[in-house]
C-alpha cells in the first residue's frame, strides 16, 4: 500500500514537473499584458487576435503541412527500408543500421549546417522544399527504429501462409504482414510528426525567405518578447491533441464488456464509441484541414509582382505590410532575422534574392565594401525628404555618399535602471562594475555591444582594433562576469519590466517600451559616451525586384506610415515629419527617443573593421564567456 502510494506520488511529481511549463504558457495566453513578466489581468483577446494574425496562422499551417508531409514521406521510405533491412544479411544490416544512426547521433546543428551547405552548393532554392527534405531526412531513422522491432516480432510463416493461400506478394504484405506492424508504423509516424513539429535548429538552417514554421517564428520573437498570440495558439494545439488523445484512449463500454449479461447496454455504447473515436477526431482533422486551406489561400496568392523583404524580428507593424499590398498591389514576402551576423552570410552567399534588407550601420559598411549592395535610385524615393538631415549626415560614416541606404530606425545604447533598486544617480558605465549590484546586472550578449560599452568606459573608441586596448577591455569584462546576472539580448526588456534586475544595458528603443510597462525604470546615456546606431534599408545587388524594393522603402518613409511603425516598435524614427505627428507631447519630446545629439559629442557609430579584427573580437569574447 505504501509502495503504491509512493509510486503514485512519484508519478504525480514527474507530471507536475513535466507540465508546469505548459500550464505556465497556457496561463500566459490569458494575460492582458503583452510581456510575460507581468500579469495584467484575464483576457481572451489574444485568441481573437490569433485568427487575424496571418503571419502566425500561416506559420502554423506551414508547420502542420511540413510535419505531416515529412512524416508521411519518412514513414513510406522508412517502412520500406525497414522491411528490406529485415531480409538482409548481417553485414548489410549492420551497414544500414549504422547509416540510420548517423542522424540520431549527429548534433542537430551539424546536420542543419551540413544540409544548408549542401543546398547552397547545389544552388537549390531555400524554402518549403529544402525544409521538407531536411525534415524527411531526420524523420526516417525514427520510423525505421519504430518499425524494425515490430518486424522482428512478426512471424515469417504468416507471410508465406498468405502466399500459399493464393495472395500475391503485395496482397500478402498488405493484408497479413502490414496489420502486424501497424502499431510500429503508426508510432513511427507519430514520432516523426512530433519531431518535425518541434524541430527548430534544422529548420532554421534550411529555410528560405517568406516561409516560417512555428519554431523559427518563435525564435525571431524570443528577441523581442514572444507575442501572446503564440501562447494562445500553443494552448489551442495542446488542448486539441490532449482531447483527441483522451477520446481515442477512453472507451466507455470497455468496463461493461466484462459483465457479459448486459448485452442490451452494448448497442448505445457502440454508437457512442464510434462517435467518440471516429466522428469527433475526424471532425477536428477536417476542421484543421479547412483552416489550412483558408489561411494558405490568403497567404499564397502569389502575384508575379512581389517584393522580398528581410527585416529584424518584430521590427515592423504587420498592418503596414497589408496597407502596402493594398495600395500597390505588390505582394510582400516577409522574412525576419535575428542578428546582422546571421544576415550577412545569407546575402553574401547569394542563395536567396532579397529585394530589401535592413542591416545596421557597420554591416552596411561591410556589404558596401564587399560590393553586395545596389545603388538606390532616389528618384523612386521622393519621401526621402522626410528623413532628417542629421541622420543622413550620420549615415555618411558607413555610406559616405548616401548612395546605398535609407535610414529606418536609430538609437543609442545606454543603461536602463530601476529607481527602486538604484538610489544613487547613474551617470557612468562604472555602475556596471559596482559590487553592490552583484547578480543584478544584465549585460548585452553580443560581441560588439559588450566590448563597445567597455571600451567607452575605458575612454577608447568603440571601434578600437588596438590589441592592448581590447585585452584591457576583455580583462575588465572578465572581472565583471561574476557580477552579471545574465548575458541577454532583447530579453533585457522583459527582465527589467519584471524587476528581475536593477541595471541593464539596453537599446534606447526598448527603453521607451519598458518605461511604459514599468514606470520605475529610467534610461541614461552615460557620460563617457556610447554607441549611436542606425538601421537602414538597403537593396542587395542580386535583387530581382529592385523597383518594388524602392517603392517599399518610399512607402515606409511616408510620415503616417513611419508614425505607425514607431508606435508599434517604439524605436526612434529619423523621419522628422513623422515625429511631428506624434500626439503625445511626452513621447514627442522624449529625451530617450529623440536625444539632442549636439549634447553628446562622444557618441560613435560602429564601423566594420575587417575579418581579422572580427576574429580577434570573437576570440576575446569567447574568452570572456567561457571564463
Partner 1 sequence: MKSKRLLAGPYLFWSVSFVIIPLLVIVYYAFTSDGGTFTLANLSQITTPENLKALGISLLLSFISTLVCLILAYPLAMILSQKQVNQTSFIVLIFILPMWMNFLLRTMAWQTLLEKNGVINSILGFLHLPALEIINTPYAIILGMVYNFLPFMVLPIYNVLIKIDPNVLNAARDLGANPVQTFLKVTFPLSIPGVISGITMVFVPALTTFVISDLLGGGKILLIGNVIEQSFKQNSNWHVGSGLSLVLMIFIIASMALVAKYDKGEGGTAF
Contact region with partner 1 (CB under 8 A), list: 193-201, 322-330, 394-402, 455-463: 193-201
Backbone φ and ψ of 575, nearest 5°: -85, 100
Tell me which residue has cell 557609430: 605
In the 3-class helix/strand/coil scheme, how is 132-170 assigned residue by residue? HHHHHHHHHHHHHHHHHHHHHHCCHHHHHHHHHCCCCHH
| Residue 88 near partner 1 by CB under 8 A | yes
Contact residue for partner 1 among 1, 41, 42, 107 (CB under 8 A): 107
- Please give the residues from 345 up to 404 whose contact with partner 1 meets the rule CB under 8 A: 345, 348
The answer to whether the CB of 493 falls within 8 A of the CB of 225 is yes
C-beta closer to partner 1: residue 99 or 384? 99
Among 16, 109, 161, 182, binds partner 1 (CB under 8 A): 109
Contact segment (CB under 8 A) with partner 1 among 218-226, 372-380, 549-557, 596-604 equals 218-226
Nearer of residues 96 and 600 to partner 1, judged by Cβ: 96
Residue 341 engages partner 1 in binding (rule: CB under 8 A): yes
Q: Are strands 503-507 and 441-444 parallel, antiparallel or unpaired?
A: parallel
Min dist CB 301 to partner 1, Å, is 28
SS3 at position 401: coil
Mask: binding to partner 1, 146-165, rule CB under 8 A, as x and -?
x-xx----------------
Decide: is 625 part of the binding site for partner 1 (CB under 8 A): yes
Helix (H, G, I), strand (E, B) or coil at 274: helix
Q: Is 28 in the site for partner 1 (CB under 8 A)?
A: yes
Binding of partner 1 by 280 (CB under 8 A): no
Q: Per-residue contact track with partner 1, 485 to 524, x per CB under 8 A?
A: xxxx------x--xxx------------------------
Cα separation, 310 vs 316, in Å, equals: 11
User: Residue 224 CB, nearest distance to partner 1 (Å)?
Assistant: 13
Question: Which listed range, 139-147, 294-302, 424-432, 575-583, lies at the site for partner 1 (CB under 8 A)?
Answer: 139-147
In the set 445, 510, 522, 535, which binds partner 1 (CB under 8 A)? 445
Q: Which member of 75, 203, 215, 480 binds partner 1 (CB under 8 A)?
A: 215
In the list 61, 177, 185, 188, the residue contacting partner 1 (rule: CB under 8 A) is: 188
Among 44, 102, 275, 516, binds partner 1 (CB under 8 A): 102
3-state secondary structure of 260: coil
- Per the structure block, which three cell numbers stand in for 451? 566590448
Answer for which of 126, 368, 381, 484 binds partner 1 (CB under 8 A) is 484
Q: In this complex, which beta carbon is closest to partner 1, that of residue 119 or of residue 566?
A: 119
Can you tell me which residue has the cell 529585394?
355
CA–CA separation, 220 and 313 (whole Å): 5
Q: Are 184 and 150 in contact (CB under 8 A)?
A: yes
Among 77, 384, 576, 609, binds partner 1 (CB under 8 A): 77
Among 12, 16, 44, 80, binds partner 1 (CB under 8 A): 80
CA 10/CA 16 separation, integer angstroms: 10
Q: Which of 133, 284, 384, 597 binds partner 1 (CB under 8 A)?
A: 133
Q: Is 328 in the site for partner 1 (CB under 8 A)?
A: no
Nearest to partner 1 of 146, 536 (CB atom): 146
Instruction: Count the alpha carbons within 13 Å of 408 in the hemisphere toward its beta carbon.
Output: 24
Among 344, 378, 433, 568, which residue sits at the site for partner 1 (rule: CB under 8 A)?
Answer: 344
Residue 202 binds partner 1 (CB under 8 A): no
Size of the site for partner 1 (CB under 8 A): 111
Collapsed DSSP state (helix, strand, coil) of residue 8: helix
Mask: binding to partner 1, 33-52, rule CB under 8 A, as x and -? ---xx---------------
Query: In the chain, how many H helices and how many E strands?
Result: 28, 12
Q: Is 284 in the site for partner 1 (CB under 8 A)?
A: no
| Residue 140 or 592 having the CB closest to partner 1 | 140
| DSSP 8-state assignment for residue 252 | T
**Three state DSSP letters for 490-543:** CCHHHHHHCCCCCEEEEEHHHHHHHHHHCCCEEEECCCCCEEEEEEEEEEECCC
Residues whose CB is less than 8 angstroms from the CB of residue 200 and which lie 6 or more positions away in sequence, other chains included: 215, 216, 218, 219
Q: Cα–Cα distance between 504 and 414 in angstroms, integer?
A: 8
Member of 15, 174, 290, 294 binding partner 1 (CB under 8 A): 15
Smallest distance, partner 1 to C-beta of residue 622, A: 5
| Closest distance to partner 1 from the beta carbon of 306 (Å) | 27
Stretch of 195-203, 392-400, 568-576, 594-602 contacting partner 1, by CB under 8 A: 195-203
Closest by CA to 529, choosing from 463, 604, 470, is: 604
Out of 380, 602, 607, 623, the only residue in the binding site for partner 1 (CB under 8 A) is 623
By the rule CB under 8 A, 198 interacts with partner 1 = yes
Dihedral sign of CA atoms 197, 198, 199, 204 in order: positive
Measured from the CB atom, is 237 or 323 closer to partner 1?
237
E-strand ranges in 161-249 read none
Q: Binder to partner 1 among 234, 269, 530, 575 (CB under 8 A)?
A: 234
CB of 475 to partner 1, least distance (A): 14
**Contacts (CB under 8 A) with partner 1, residues 237-266:** 237-238, 241-242, 245, 249, 254
Can you tell me whether residue 331 is helix, strand or coil? strand
DSSP notation for 18-75: HHHHHHHHHHHTTBSSSSTTS---B--HHHHHHHH-HHHHHHHHHHHHHHHHHHHHHH
Judged by beta carbon, residue 318 or residue 498, the one nearer partner 1 is 498
Closest contact distance (angstroms) between CB of 499 and partner 1 is 6
Picking from 23, 173, 164, the residue whose alpha carbon sits closest to that of residue 87 is: 173
User: Are the beta carbons of 469 and 458 closer than 8 angstroms?
Assistant: yes
Nearest-angstrom CA–CA distance, 450 and 455: 9
Residue 206 in grid coordinates: 534550411
| 513 CB neighbour count, 10 Å cutoff | 19
Q: Least distance from C-beta 104 to partner 1, angstroms?
A: 7
CA distances from 59 to 79, 200, 223, 328, 614 (A): 29, 13, 18, 24, 35
Which residue, 152 or 272, is less far from partner 1 as judged by CB?
A: 152
Q: Segment contacting partner 1 (CB under 8 A): 40-48, 73-81, 351-359, 570-578?
A: 73-81
Using CB under 8 A as the binding rule, whether residue 25 contacts partner 1 is answered as: yes
Least distance from partner 1 to the Cβ atom of residue 618, Å: 4
Q: By the 8 A CB rule, do 391 and 574 touch?
A: yes
Amino acid at each position: 500500500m505504501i509502495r503504491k502510494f509512493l509510486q503514485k506520488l512519484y508519478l504525480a511529481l514527474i507530471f507536475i514537473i513535466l507540465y508546469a511549463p505548459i500550464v505556465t504558457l497556457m496561463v500566459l495566453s490569458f494575460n492582458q499584458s503583452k510581456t510575460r513578466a507581468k500579469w495584467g489581468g484575464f483576457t481572451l483577446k489574444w485568441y481573437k487576435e490569433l485568427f487575424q494574425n496571418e503571419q502566425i496562422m500561416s506559420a502554423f499551417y506551414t508547420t502542420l503541412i511540413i510535419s505531416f508531409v515529412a512524416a508521411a514521406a519518412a514513414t513510406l521510405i522508412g517502412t520500406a527500408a525497414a522491411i528490406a533491412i529485415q531480409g538482409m544479411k548481417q553485414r548489410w544490416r549492420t551497414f544500414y543500421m549504422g547509416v540510420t544512426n548517423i542522424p540520431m547521433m549527429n548534433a542537430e546543428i551539424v546536420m542543419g549546417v551540413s544540409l544548408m551547405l549542401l543546398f547552397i552548393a547545389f544552388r537549390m532554392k531555400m524554402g518549403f522544399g529544402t525544409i521538407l527534405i531536411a525534415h524527411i531526412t531526420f524523420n526516417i531513422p525514427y520510423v525505421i527504429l519504430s518499425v524494425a522491432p515490430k518486424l522482428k516480432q512478426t512471424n515469417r510463416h504468416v507471410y508465406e501462409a498468405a502466399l500459399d493461400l493464393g495472395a500475391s506478394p503485395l496482397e500478402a504484405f498488405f493484408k497479413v504482414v502490414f496489420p502486424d506492424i501497424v502499431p510500429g508504423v503508426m508510432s513511427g509516424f507519430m514520432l516523426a510528426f512530433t519531431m518535425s513539429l518541434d524541430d527548430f535548429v534544422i529548420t532554421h538552417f534550411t529555410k528560405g525567405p517568406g516561409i516560417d514554421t512555428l519554431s523559427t517564428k518563435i525564435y525571431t520573437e524570443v528577441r523581442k518578447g514572444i507575442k501572446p498570440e503564440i501562447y494562445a495558439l500553443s494552448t489551442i494545439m495542446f488542448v486539441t491533441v490532449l482531447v483527441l488523445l483522451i477520446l481515442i484512449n477512453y472507451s466507455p463500454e470497455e468496463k461493461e464488456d466484462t459483465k457479459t449479461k448486459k448485452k442490451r447496454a452494448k448497442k448505445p455504447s457502440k454508437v457512442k464509441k464510434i462517435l467518440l473515436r471516429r466522428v469527433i477526431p475526424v471532425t477536428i482533422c477536417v476542421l484543421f484541414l479547412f483552416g489550412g486551406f483558408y489561411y494558405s489561400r490568403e497567404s499564397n496568392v502569389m502575384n508575379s509582382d512581389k517584393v522580398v523583404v528581410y527585416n529584424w524580428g518584430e521590427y515592423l507593424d504587420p498592418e503596414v505590410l497589408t496597407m502596402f499590398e493594398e495600395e500597390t498591389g505588390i505582394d510582400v514576402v516577409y522574412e525576419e532575422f535575428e542578428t546582422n551576423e546571421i544576415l550577412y552570410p545569407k546575402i553574401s552567399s547569394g542563395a536567396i534574392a532579397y529585394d530589401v534588407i535592413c542591416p545596421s550601420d557597420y554591416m552596411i559598411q561591410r556589404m558596401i565594401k564587399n560590393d553586395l549592395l545596389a545603388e538606390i535610385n532616389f528618384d523612386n524615393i521622393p519621401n526621402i525628404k522626410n528623413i532628417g538631415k542629421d541622420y543622413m549626415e550620420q549615415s555618411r560614416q558607413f555610406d559616405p555618399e548616401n548612395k546605398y541606404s535609407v535610414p529606418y530606425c536609430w538609437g543609442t545604447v545606454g543603461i536602463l535602471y530601476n529607481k527602486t533598486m538604484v538610489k544613487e544617480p547613474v551617470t557612468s558605465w562604472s555602475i556596471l562594475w559596482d559590487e553592490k549590484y552583484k547578480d543584478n546586472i544584465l549585460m548585452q550578449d553580443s560581441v560588439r555591444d559588450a566590448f563597445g560599452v567597455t571600451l567607452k568606459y575605458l575612454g577608447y573608441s568603440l571601434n578600437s582594433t588596438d590589441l592592448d586596448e581590447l585585452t584591457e577591455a576583455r580583462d575588465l569584462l572578465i572581472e565583471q562576469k561574476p557580477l552579471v546576472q545574465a548575458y541577454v539580448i532583447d530579453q533585457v526588456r522583459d527582465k527589467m519590466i519584471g524587476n528581475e534586475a536593477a541595471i541593464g544595458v539596453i537599446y534606447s528603443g526598448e527603453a521607451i517600451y519598458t518605461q511604459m510597462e514599468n514606470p520605475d525604470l529610467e534610461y541614461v546615456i552615460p557620460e563617457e559616451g556610447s554607441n549611436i546606431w542606425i538601421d537602414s534599408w538597403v537593396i542587395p545587388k542580386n535583387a530581382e525586384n529592385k523597383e518594388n524594393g524602392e517603392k517599399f522603402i518610399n512607402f515606409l518613409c511616408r510620415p503616417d506610415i513611419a508614425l505607425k511603425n514607431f508606435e508599434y516598435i517604439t524605436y526612434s524614427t529619423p523621419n522628422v515629419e513623422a515625429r511631428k505627428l506624434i500626439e503625445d507631447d511626452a513621447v514627442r519630446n522624449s529625451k530617450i527617443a529623440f536625444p539632442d545629439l549636439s549634447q553628446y559629442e562622444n557618441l560613435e557609430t560602429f564601423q566594420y573593421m575587417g575579418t581579422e579584427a572580427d576574429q580577434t573580437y570573437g576570440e576575446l569574447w569567447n574568452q570572456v564567456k567561457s571564463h
